[in-house]
Amino acid sequence: MNLSLSRPAKNRHCAVMTNANETKAKAGAIIVPVTLFEQNCTILWDAETKQAVVFDPGGDVPKILAAIEKTAVKVEKIWLTHGHIDHVGGAAELRDALKVPIVGPHQADKFLLDNVVTSGAQFGMSGVRNFAPDRWLAEGEQVQIGALTFDILHCPGHSPGSVVYYNKELQFAHVGDVLFNGSVGRTDLPGGSHATLISSIKDKLLPLGDDIGFICGHGAGSSFGQERLTNPFLTGEM
Ligand SMILES: [Zn+2]
Ligand SMILES: [Zn+2]
């Protein structure tokens, strides 16, 4: 969660999903900002089959459902990056509405999913529910939507159970709140650790390569190379 980041509450189409070596996009994505935290709920799909996932439905479920209908994709799964309220507040409601399974995050965030109602009350979010995902994710596992395969990287530090979804072919990652454009996830919440977070980024994400583009939980996306060179938390300036 990061209150300092905000953007106009308008859905954004993403260009990062086009592989430069291909003549046509293999995937599409749209970002639907949700909750008072302007969290980047992301609908991502296989361009060929229109099979889709919803990353981090933090709230404003009617707005997410409207975006799904407008995009004309078939949502088959809900994928969670971590357990914070702005990422999971609408997950149980969306699962009921779409009759699809919730996948992720890592089980180390179970304490957050068990306390969604309590967290929601702190921010005036009503109608949220505690829930368990249909599948926990662990380091090295893979998840699929259509012909797209994502590797799971367990990247604790912002929360203990944060995971990053990485697609090698598309040179793309969804990093949740682990890394931001010019910043990193906050580490003052329960289970957070700044040293662990920086290790997750430097040891697991940056080695994937400078060309990897990413969507993050708040604000504009970036690439690992851009952040490696300019992000003050990675260059040693902070
Ligand atoms: Zn978070
Ligand atoms: Zn967040």
For the segment 101-131, what is each residue's pLDDT rounded down to a tens digit? 999 999 999 999 999 999 999 999 988 999 9
How many domains in the chain?
A: 1
User: In this structure, which ligand is nearest to the CA of 216?
Assistant: 2
CA of 108 relative to ligand 1 center, distance in Å: 14
Q: For the residues 20-39, what does the mean pLDDT come to?
A: 83
Q: Give the tens place of pLDDT for each residue, 194-221.
A: 999 999 999 999 999 999 999 999 999 9
Residue with tokens 């060179």: 229
In the prediction, which pLDDT does 21 show?
Answer: 47
Q: Which numbered ligand comes closest to the C-alpha of 82? A: 1
Q: What is the mean pLDDT of residues 81-105?
A: 98
Bridge partners, residue 204, by sequence: none
Q: Report the mean per-residue pLDDT for the chain.
A: 92
Instruction: Compute, in angstroms, the gap from residue 21 CA to the centroid of ligand 2.
Output: 32
CATH code (residue 90): 3.60.15.10
Cα distances (angstroms) measured from residue 1 to each of 51, 148, 171, 179: 29, 28, 26, 12
Poorest-pLDDT segment among 6-15, 184-193, 215-224: 6-15
Domain region containing 29: 5-235
For residue 19, pLDDT over 90 is answered with no
Asked if residues 172 and 16 have their Cβ atoms less than 8 Å apart, the reply is yes
Both tokens assigned to 183 = 């910043």
Distance 176 CA to ligand 1 centre (A): 7
- State percent of the chain over pLDDT 90: 87
Q: Is pLDDT at 139 greater than 70 in this prediction?
A: yes
Statement: residue 61 has pLDDT above 90: yes
Give the β-pairing of 163-167 and 172-174: antiparallel
Please tell me the distance from the alpha carbon of residue 226 to that of residue 127, in angstroms, as a whole number.
Answer: 39
For residue 193, report the distance from its CA to the centre of ligand 2, in Å. 16
Q: Is residue 10 scored above 80 in pLDDT?
A: no
Q: Which of 233, 104, 232, 228 is nearest to 165 (CA)?
A: 104
CB 111 within 8 A of CB 85: no
Kindly tell me if the per-residue pLDDT of 22 is higher than 70. Answer: no
Å from CA of 147 to ligand 2 middle? 28
Q: Is the pLDDT score of 25 beyond 90? A: no
Ligand lying closest to the C-alpha of residue 4: 2
Q: How far is the CA of 116 from the centre of ligand 1 (A)?
A: 13
Cα–Cα distance, 199 to 86 (Å, whole number): 24
